[in-house]
Structure 1
Amino acid sequence: MEQLNLVEIQKALDENPIFHMSLSSRELFHSNFLAWLFWKYPASLNAVLPLSFSVSNISAVHRERKNLDLLIEAIADSGLKHNIVLENKVKDIPRAEQLLSYDEKLKGDLGNAPTDKILLSLVPAAKSVKEKSGWLDFDYKSLGSNVLDWVDRSAVSDEDVIIIRLYGELVCNLSKLVDASLQGDGLPRESWLLKTRTPRQDEIHQVLSDLRLIDMIGKMQASFLLDSIRAEVGRNFRSTTFEVEFGSGYSRAMPMVEASISRAVSGGSLSLGVQVQGDQYRRFILFAHFNIPPKESARKKISQLRKAIDETDGYRWLFAPEVEKGGFITALHEREESLLPKKMGTRMDRAAPINSFAPGFVYQHIDLDSLGSSQDVFASLPAIVVSDLSYASSLLGDPDYLEKFINFRSISSFN
């Protein structure tokens, strides 16, 4: 396959006024443009979208109704009413939970009319989204191509032709950029841990950053890794007591995934979980009674965190109270069946070996590259996560472990 010229794609986008108009609110911009196009030219619906029926006319177009990007009330050639719901993902990625929540909102609101639910996305949807949501997956590449094909053979005013063509070209060029990012010489779909990028990957990363699209690829990478973790949990997490909670996203310019289990403790919740962000593998404790002050001197905060962990977890879930010389940490209470090495690399400060986010999130991390090469680490991460979650379930089922959290008052009581 011929390598796409990223400089030419970036230049075409920079010269497209529609692209610059879209930057301030990408999803809303596309929804508004498509709403205008379909309302003014109802026949375009048949050519542009993959519908299950042929549109004769449109009776209404709603934007942001119950948070739905676009809801179109259409009349089919048969004379029957049909609904078209369009969920639009440009800057963000598709999420099954969001689409399922929209299904709930639609129940009873659209009457008995048949409804085509279309997911329009710039990046590929994760497997879990396709399997769970029941929405038709439709990409921007096809949308742009369909728009350009339709406008070239339709009766459209001269002024509108210019605008519609610019929009179609914008969408096609954005899609080409995503294609280039995900081809064989591009960025991996799951493994974002690239210690040394190839010149091509450097070029892709720079162009995506310049166009403010790098976070979209990061979110996609996180969602694909999370799918692998979900699948491994489904196969090998044996607990019937705890349900695993998942999350993914893009924070502090880094992809992030997490998985955790929880139980009620002292009128609140105690969660043990793992989080992979950037080049870190973290074990975390989320406990409201830690009540970490948002503004505190670093020295005092570390002292408080040390005391809190000594009185509760005792480094049974977190790794160890000290970082060794050379940037290593040795797990204090690691079980024999752990898939993590006994001694692991970390960039935690020796003077501050515990990290936290207010109000109650405490964690320690090890370096992913201390677990092996980038490719090997991401292939083995799902099994490592499930192994750790199994260990966490044994801790949350241990009365002696729980009692320490039940008896804990709060960090503020240390003052």
Structure 2
Amino acid sequence: MYEDFRAAAERIEANPLGRLMYGHRELFHSNLLAWFFDYLPDAADAVFAPLTSTGTDIARSVDREKENLDLVMHWPDRRPLVIENKVFSLPDKSQLDAYRAKVASWHVPPTLVLMAISAPHFSDPAWHYISYRELADRIDAALPRGSHYELETMRRYASLARDLHALVSAVDVASPDEPVWLEGPLVEVISSSQTRSALIKARAQRVARWINDAIPTLEQSANSGLTRATPLVESFEYIHTQGVHVHLGWQLQGSQFRRGAIYHDESIQGKDAASRSAREEVSRRHPEFFAMPGSLPQGRGGRKEFNHFAPNFVYTYVNAPGLTLRELVQAASEVHAGIERLREAEPAGAERPPNAIRKAP
């Protein structure tokens, strides 16, 4: 995999459009495809018009960011074509549902196309999926012979789309026995810090999706993020136990596996020393909130009894370098099972506070 990844990265580096793409991602692709539609109309129609059906619309034109939609293409004799563009990030069903609702009132119902490197992990017949590799093949097949600027630009773009598909596909989870995080040499061949960060963040998204597939009974889906250039994935679940309204769970950032509690009692929230001390007192009374999975090392990391992210996050951690997906799923399953035992031991009836929310990191 490393050699294929390196080769694709080197081709992107050598492609002037690849350099222009750095830091812009979806915006770059949408803008260039709109330019293609305007300046090579016959080739663009061969690529995109077959994706929609006959109908009556306005004059041939293309809109960028119309009602926050990436691309909307119009033809006088076809239905509009709405394109949602995803490069590094995974398709989001709630976002697609919102876009579908937005266009439901249009006078001419559009055809909806999801153009993404990663296929959606859900079924949605309203959206037709096209990969970047298929987009590249369509463009190559549509371009006529010739060497003028517009044609060469789109040939280079087709190569970029194909290489980008190979590059981002490399961060997909292929086996539960591979490391959770991308290994350093794999991403160091990318010169752009923005693109490296995007790939690392994309991997974290895919790890979170793997966790959600493996543990479908989570009270709240696992989430992912990137802070201080380090990827993280986490799973927190709301519970009311022994009079405490709290989100309990875990977080893996880099090699730190954390057991955390997010307290929703406003009287102990804050950045001041008194609030911090009050949170630690509650935490001492509930060591079960911080029990490490038996499958992980048990020697606590750091010199502090508790670590904090103000205003209400308390955690302990162990160092667990080189975790595989299988090992992370095992640890996550143990934590989830422990939370469920606490839930089962608590009589139902406590009302969840309106502030008891854990947003994605």
- Residue equivalent to 1:93: 90
CA contact (8 A) 1:126 1:223 kept: no
CA–CA distance in structure 2, aligned partners of residues 227 and 181 of structure 1: 13
**Alpha-carbon deviation of 1:31?**
0.7
**Of 298, 306, 309, which residue of structure 2 is paired with 1:344?**
298
3-state SS of paired residue (1:4): helix
**Alpha-carbon deviation of 1:272?**
2.6
CA contact (8 A) 1:279 1:367 kept: yes
**Alpha-carbon deviation of 1:150?**
1.7
- Residue equivalent to 2:25: 26
- Flag the 1:104–1:66 CA change in 2: closer, same or farther, 3 A: same
- For the pair 1:63 / 2:64, whether they are aligned, the reply is yes
CA–CA distance in structure 2, aligned partners of residues 35 and 64 of structure 1: 11
**Of 286, 297, 303, which residue of structure 2 is paired with 1:315?**
286
- Residue equivalent to 1:357: 309
**Of 375, 378, 403, which residue of structure 1 is paired with 2:328?**
378
* One-letter amino acid matched to 2:278: K
3-state SS of paired residue (2:89): coil
3-state SS of paired residue (1:131): coil
CA–CA distance in structure 2, aligned partners of residues 173 and 316 of structure 1: 50
- Flag the 1:263–1:106 CA change in 2: closer, same or farther, 3 A: farther
* One-letter amino acid matched to 1:344: Q
CA–CA distance in structure 2, aligned partners of residues 218 and 375 of structure 1: 15
- Residue equivalent to 2:254: 278
TM-score normalised by structure 2 residue count: 0.77
3-state SS of paired residue (1:72): strand
TM-score normalised by structure 1 residue count: 0.68
Q: Which moved more, 1:144-153 or 1:41-50?
A: 41-50
- For the pair 1:121 / 2:116, whether they are aligned, the reply is yes
- For the pair 1:253 / 2:229, whether they are aligned, the reply is yes
- For the pair 1:170 / 2:171, whether they are aligned, the reply is no
CA–CA distance in structure 1, aligned partners of residues 205 and 177 of structure 2: 8
- Paired residues, what number? 347
CA contact (8 A) 1:280 1:365 kept: yes
CA contact (8 A) 2:72 2:81 kept: yes
3-state SS of paired residue (2:298): strand
**Alpha-carbon deviation of 1:27?**
1.2
Q: What do residues 45-64 of structure 1 show as CA deviations (whole Å, max 9, x unaligned)?
A: 45434714379995332211
CA–CA distance in structure 1, aligned partners of residues 296 and 151 of structure 2: 65
**Alpha-carbon deviation of 1:41?**
3.4
CA–CA distance in structure 1, aligned partners of residues 237 and 211 of structure 2: 14
CA–CA distance in structure 2, aligned partners of residues 275 and 148 of structure 1: 44
3-state SS of paired residue (1:345): coil
CA contact (8 A) 2:222 2:234 kept: yes
Gap runs ≥5 in structure 1: 238-242, 320-330, 407-415
CA contact (8 A) 2:2 2:186 kept: no
**Alpha-carbon deviation of 1:102?**
2.0
Please report the RMSD computed on the Cα atoms of aligned residues, expressed in angstroms.
Answer: 4.0
Q: Which moved more, 1:380-389 or 1:17-26?
A: 380-389
3-state SS of paired residue (1:222): helix
3-state SS of paired residue (1:94): coil
- For the pair 1:387 / 2:337, whether they are aligned, the reply is yes
**Alpha-carbon deviation of 1:381?**
4.1
- Residue equivalent to 1:292: 270
CA–CA distance in structure 2, aligned partners of residues 12 and 343 of structure 1: 42
Larger CA Rg, structure 1 vs 2: 1
Q: What do residues 130-171 of structure 1 show as CA deviations (whole Å, max 9, x unaligned)?
A: 335853222212212322232235xx8823112222222222
**Alpha-carbon deviation of 1:32?**
0.8
**Alpha-carbon deviation of 1:219?**
3.3
